[in-house]
């Protein structure tokens, strides 16, 4: 793999995966505030001044210094903290994903937002079904796309034809990762064209 290929792969990965800054920044701010508070309490204790909330000695005694707290409350608090920790670990390990796909391969590739792909699939489905584009809605996920068509009342829509054309359109884009399509026709149509 050449340097250019590695660079291209890296750029495409960055465009498809979201950074964790949305979660990391608030957590870092929370850690900064907590450490600033601990530092302030330590300095106040060293100067012999009253504590803001807890003295370092009271913090050191920890749970043993909380005689009025029921064990059930401590278990519940521990469970909540464990669940928060589990969510943070899973978030840190699991890859974040932006709503985008790659179109094209080889030397050139374009990163396209899923809303653009959904719009193209809606246009295809509406044309095949013989309805206006505002009567179709699409949702594009990482590996699947669902198109829902609302027909005109009394006018049947050939679901198989719509499915075939939508799948052909999705395959024609050359999406990476590939998208499997599903078409749903509403049973109740709406009056008008």
pLDDT in tens, 98-147: 777 778 766 677 888 889 999 999 999 999 988 888 889 999 988 899 99
Q: What structural domains and CATH numbers belong to the chain?
A: 19-93 (no CATH), 100-185 (3.30.300)
The per-residue pLDDT for range 134-146, each reduced to its tens digit, is: 889 999 988 899 9
Long-range own/partner contacts, residues 13-20 (CB < 8 A, 24 or more apart): 15/98, 15/100, 15/111, 16/97, 16/98, 16/100, 16/101, 16/102, 16/111, 17/95, 17/96, 17/97, 17/98, 18/96, 18/97, 18/98, 19/96, 20/91, 20/92, 20/96
pTM, whole model, 2 decimals? 0.61
């Amino acid at each position: 793999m050449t340097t250019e290929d590695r660079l291209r792969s890296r750029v495409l990965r960055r465009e498809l995966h979201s950074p964790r800054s949305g979660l990391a920044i608030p957590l870092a701010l929370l850690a900064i505030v907590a450490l600033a508070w601990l530092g302030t309490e330590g300095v106040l204790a060293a100067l012999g001044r009253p504590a803001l909330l807890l003295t370092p000695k009271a913090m050191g005694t920890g749970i043993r210094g909380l005689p009025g707290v029921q064990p059930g409350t401590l278990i519940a608090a521990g469970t909540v903290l464990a669940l928060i920790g589990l969510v943070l670990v899973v978030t840190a390990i699991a890859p974040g994903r932006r709503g985008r796909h790659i179109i094209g391969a080889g030397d050139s590739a374009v990163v396209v937002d899923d809303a653009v792909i959904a719009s193209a699939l809606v246009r295809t489905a509406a044309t095949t079904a013989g309805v206006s584009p505002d009567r179709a809605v699409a949702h594009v996920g990482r590996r699947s796309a669902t198109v829902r068509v609302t027909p005109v009342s009394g006018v049947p829509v050939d679901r198989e034809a719509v499915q075939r054309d939508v799948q052909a359109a999705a395959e024609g884009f050359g999406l990476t990762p590939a998208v499997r399509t599903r078409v749903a026709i509403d049973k109740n149509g709406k009056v008008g064209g």
